[in-house]
Amino acid sequence: MARKVKVGIIGAGRGGSSIYKTLRGIEHVEIAVVCDKSLDAPGIKMAQADGIYTCQTIAEFCQTDGLDLMIEATGVKEVQAEIEQLKLPSTSVMEAKSANLMMHVIEEKEKLSEMKRLKGELDAILNSVQEAIEVAGNDGTIKYVNPSFTRVTGLSATQRIGQNIFEVSPNGALARALRTHDQIFAHRSRVGGSEAEVISNASPIAVEGRMEGAVVVFQPLTDIYKLMEQLQASNQVIDDLQTRINQISTSAYTFDDIIGSHPEFEKALDLARKASRSNSTVLITGESGTGKELFAHAIHSASQRWDKPFIKVNCAAIPETLLESEFFGYEKGAFTGAGKTKLGKMELAHGGTIFLDEIGDMNLYLQAKLLRVVQDMEFERVGGTQTIKVNVRVIAATNRNLREMVKKGDFREDLYYRLNVVELHLPPLRKHKEDIPAYAQSLIVKFNRKFGKKVAGLSAQAEQLLMNYTWPGNVRELQNVMERAMVTVEEDMITNRHILNLVDTPISKLGREFEELIPLDEMEKRMIRIALNRYGESVEGKKKAAQALNISLATLYNKLKTLR
């Protein structure tokens, strides 16, 4: 009986408890310990109910004897680092992302296990006594044949034993081994006295260093070919399942990751939450960078399909010539280079969600095929004839006006109405600028972890600079600006000098400030403030400001006294 794999799980929240429930039902797995800092975690309670050992610290978790595998289900880098430091060298670690992947492909486990079992059986057949065996002495006299010899050749034991191998099969592997005293491998010949063509392995028999004869083991070519074909077929199935496992992913964000308080934004968020409770098709519209993919991830995470695949297809990034095979897969030999069957995105998403980003860039031919999938949930692979049925929830997104495209004939009207069951329109960032400070602060927290920094936040001037910008690239551009600022900042605050060169301040805004006549001393004060906003209030910044204003540093300091 095979030894059970001894497993420990750290992180007993939603993900860890799901892993626990999955592993609990696997025969060859023994869950030895479950760890979480909270004793109220669902996985801890389940483990305690099952009599499994539980703990609250990483050190205690890593001290558990005999663990073969630790499953780290927290996703926290600090936890991962401490485990690597404390665990025994003999213990392997599976991190959260891999653990989640394991949950998503558990349905394929039984198929994969069955294929491996079949492969093991075929290997056993190739090396078992079911092969024909024949033994002869040094003089060539045949001493023994097993029952399989009769099955393969049609010759009974009485017909064969006592005959001389040099007479009945002089060109066979057994005769060659007796003549050469060497091993003979993969020798192809016909068994003398029969019509059986076989592949043989022969070897001398030595007793205390002295050759006493030889033995041959062989199988008919027909059996070898059949076994090879079956083995190849099972290996192909295993390869296909492994390919499927490697391509499956899950959603990375939830509604908790979405920030926004503007009424229009909150309206879209509320509708998205409602949509997540159904299987209806969702169309997400909005400018590039407004967070359409984030919403798609969140809808999947909150749906009943959360533990199934989330497959993303960027319709604009895949060449049109490859788009159909990416969507629907292809059969072996469907075209040049198609060496084996490949599963398409639709098939990989079975049971889960497929996210069609930039759907407006899909050509009309593929739109027709997609319409059939959305309507009937069935398709054929490229080069195939078998109809494949799937259960997939479709979420599409675009920054284009599909209604106008329908009028121009660039987008199928029937597909548009199939996709537009629930429409979410995300407003551009310039329409809900009041959310910028919250966005910026969350990004600072994120990049602090990424870059190992301790930036506290934005200065008032830097925040105002972000508020004054129009953000044509929306939230994606804001994330880019904040990341670049975090790379360069060395202080504990991001100031306007870290931001100023990363956004294009509109020239027209400066012009509007002086459309009406104002006193010269007031204009002077404004120009000084603009210069300081641009270069900062450090000594070096004031030097640059004075140079830009074409005054001395001493004059600038004198004028600053009147500003305070």
Query: pLDDT digit string (tens) for 172-199?
Result: 888 898 999 999 888 888 888 787 788 8
C-beta of residue 12 within 8 angstroms of C-beta of residue 6:
no
Binning pLDDT at 50, 70 and 90, where does residue 113 land?
low
Domain boundaries for CATH 3.30.450.20 within the chain: 132-224
Return d(Cα 264, Cα 286) in angstroms, integer.
12
Domain boundaries for CATH 3.40.50.300 within the chain: 255-425
CA atoms in the 13 A half-sphere facing the CB of 30: 11
- CA torsion 430-433-435-440 (nearest 10°) is 90
CATH 3.30.499.10 for domain 430-505: no
∠49-53-54 over CA atoms, to 5°?
85
The residue behind tokens 């001389």 is 164
Q: Which two tokens stand for residue 536?
A: 């900062």
C-beta of residue 250 within 8 angstroms of C-beta of residue 104:
yes
Give the per-residue pLDDT at 424. Answer: 92
Arithmetic mean of pLDDT, 36-51 = 91
Return the SS3 of 301. helix
Give the per-residue pLDDT at 98. Answer: 67
CATH, range 508-563 = 1.10.10
The model's pLDDT over 127-164, given as tens digits with 9 standing for 90+, comes to 456 788 889 999 999 988 888 888 888 888 888 899 99
Return d(Cα 436, Cα 429) in angstroms, integer.
8
Domain boundaries for CATH 1.10.8.60 within the chain: 430-505
Please report, for residues 16, 67, 76, the alpha-carbon distance to residue 21 in angstroms, rounded to integers and kept in the order given.
Answer: 9, 19, 22
Return the SS3 of 477. helix
Please report, for residues 310, 466, 513, the alpha-carbon distance to residue 507 in angstroms, rounded to integers and kept in the order given.
Answer: 44, 15, 11
The sign of the CA dihedral 246, 247, 250, 251 is positive
Arithmetic mean of pLDDT, 95-113 = 60
The model's pLDDT over 475-487, given as tens digits with 9 standing for 90+, comes to 888 988 899 989 8
Q: Which two tokens stand for residue 65?
A: 């004897």
C-beta of residue 15 within 8 angstroms of C-beta of residue 99:
yes
- Max avg pLDDT among 36-45, 253-262, 517-526: 36-45
Name residue 228's amino acid: M
Domain boundaries for CATH 3.40.50.720 within the chain: 5-104
CATH, range 255-425 = 3.40.50.300
Q: Which strand (E) or helix (H) includes residue 560? A: helix 553-563
Binning pLDDT at 50, 70 and 90, where does residue 510 land?
very low
Q: Which two tokens stand for residue 78?
A: 């600090």
Decide which of 223 and 368 is more confident. 368
507 pLDDT more than 50: no
Q: What is the DSSP letter of 433?
A: G
Pick the CATH number of 5-104 from 3.40.50.450, 3.90.1420.10, 3.40.50.720, 3.30.360.10: 3.40.50.720
Return d(Cα 255, Cα 97) in angstroms, integer.
19
C-beta of residue 286 within 8 angstroms of C-beta of residue 239:
no
The model's pLDDT over 342-361, given as tens digits with 9 standing for 90+, comes to 888 888 888 899 999 999 88
Residue by residue, what is the 3-state secondary structure of 501-555? HHCCCCHHHHHHHCCCCCCHHHHHHHHHHHHHHHHCCCHHHHHHHHHHHCCCHHH
310 forms bridges with which residues in the sheet? 353
C-beta of residue 283 within 8 angstroms of C-beta of residue 419:
yes
Return d(Cα 481, Cα 459) in angstroms, integer.
15
CATH 3.20.20.70 for domain 132-224: no
317 pLDDT more than 80: no
Q: For residue 103, which of 44, 26, 18, 5 has the smallest C-alpha distance?
A: 18
Radius of gyration of the chain (CA): 36
